[in-house]
Amino acid sequence: MNNPFKLAIAHGPNFCNRTAEKKLLCHNMRSGIHTVVYAPRRYGKSSLAAVVGDQLTDMTCIYVDLFSATSPEDVAEKIYRGIVGTLGHKAADKTSLAARILASFKSLRLNIEFSQVTSLPEFSVSLGEVSAEIHLEHIISSLDHYCASHGIKVCLVLDEFQEICELKESKKIEALLRGGMQSAKHVSFLVMGSRRTILRDMFEDRKRPFYKSAFVYMLPQIQSDEFAAFLVERYAESGKVLSQSDALSMVEFVDAYPYYVQKIAMLHFDMVGEYDELARAKKLLVEMEATDFEGIFLGLTNHQKRLLRAIAKQRPASIHSQAFLVAYRLGSQGGVQTSLAKLKKMDMVEMRDKSWRVVDPVFEKWLIEQ
């Protein structure tokens, strides 16, 4: 029997619920309402964007992942590659398409090369001698011009958008893209991000270029009982039985994070019928994520490590209580405030249900074990 659970972008029957969210985002994109969706890492944002793109059959959806952008040139090239790659995906005649693209994107350098893998023609993009700032100033208006010329509407998905803030030129990049966003008539922005404090500041700080330029939406948690019912159904469709209680136990163990739900179900599915299968699947999940968590942990200062581990173990209502500071050797309140600000900016901790928590539920379990 094939395991129905995958760690790739979820489509079709692999995607759980989010009916209201899909309806809202499709409506906003069709209505030209630029929208910012923020949620923690591994919360299913990219899968949601893909499913929304599938439903927007009357629009052309362009996906751009900005996670690894390290310069304004990177940002411009990634957006260009997303645009050209999507427009060229179904084009039978690459040469005529290139001419149409260059008629709107006048600063772009576009070449057709043959793939060494498929032997098919593919586009490559280059900024040429024109500065990245000039490209970023005109890239959205050029896309809007292309849309107007060819009678199409575009949903432009910019994933991990907050990574722009890590660049020293971030304010300039924001201002240049904001200009295009404001004037676009045929392009709707769907901005996604996981470092929530940074992303909210970009769109809600009155001193920032993107202030009040988009509808800001926090992606809600999928209800545990709905997620559990989804797992039970997927098991049944694949010829195995999963009780509602075991399904709910898996979902609650990972706090209904879609990535982790898919992963623990994938592990458990292959263990059904074995001894202590549920406990073993939970233990294996934490072990498999350990390498990633170790890398994150090593990147912190010693004080940040102590504070993060203390929050995982204690879930304190107050970070600044004397008992908490003494119990975990955290020193002065000033030092704690500095470390807390950094952990919040990195989206590692948050105040939830009147207590401080580690954002990632599996990371929290790993920290407790250390």
Q: Is residue 247 part of a domain?
A: yes
pLDDT tens per residue, range 138-152: 999 999 999 999 999
Q: Is residue 122 part of a domain?
A: no
Q: Is residue 11 part of a domain?
A: no
Predicted structure pTM score: 0.90
Which CATH number do you get for residue 63?
3.40.50.300
Residue 175 and residue 213: Cα distance in Å, rounded?
Answer: 11
For residue 223, the model assigns a pLDDT of 94
Which CATH number do you get for residue 360?
1.10.10.10
307 and 278 share one domain: no
pLDDT tens per residue, range 51-88: 999 999 999 999 999 988 999 999 999 999 999 989 88
Q: Which of 238, 269, 295 is the last residue of a domain?
A: 295
Instruction: Name every residue whose Cβ is closer than 8 Å to that of residue 362 and which is 6 or more positions away in sequence.
Output: 254, 257, 260, 285, 286, 289, 293
Q: Is residue 260 part of a domain?
A: yes
Q: DSSP letter for 12, please.
A: G
| Structural domain total, the chain | 3
pLDDT tens per residue, range 339-364: 999 999 899 999 998 999 999 999 99
149 and 268 share one domain: no
SS3 annotation, 263-298: HHHHHHHCCCCCCCHHHHHHHHHHHHHHHHHHHHHH
249 and 325 share one domain: no
For residue 194, the model assigns a pLDDT of 86
For residue 117, the model assigns a pLDDT of 67
286 and 328 share one domain: no
| pLDDT category of residue 273 using cuts at 50, 70 and 90 | confident
73 and 183 share one domain: yes
Task: Please check the confidence at residue 307 and state whether its pLDDT lies above 90.
Answer: yes
Q: Is residue 3 part of a domain?
A: no
Mean pLDDT in residue range 203-222: 90
The letter for the amino acid at 20 is A
Instruction: Name every residue whose Cβ is closer than 8 Å to that of residue 136 and which is 6 or more positions away in sequence.
Output: 72, 75, 76, 173, 176, 177
Mean pLDDT of all residues belonging to the chain: 92
Residue 63 and residue 79: Cα distance in Å, rounded?
Answer: 8
Q: Which of 218, 233, 266 is the last residue of a domain?
A: 218
Residue 152 belongs to what domain range? 18-91+132-218
255 and 189 share one domain: no
Q: Is residue 173 part of a domain?
A: yes
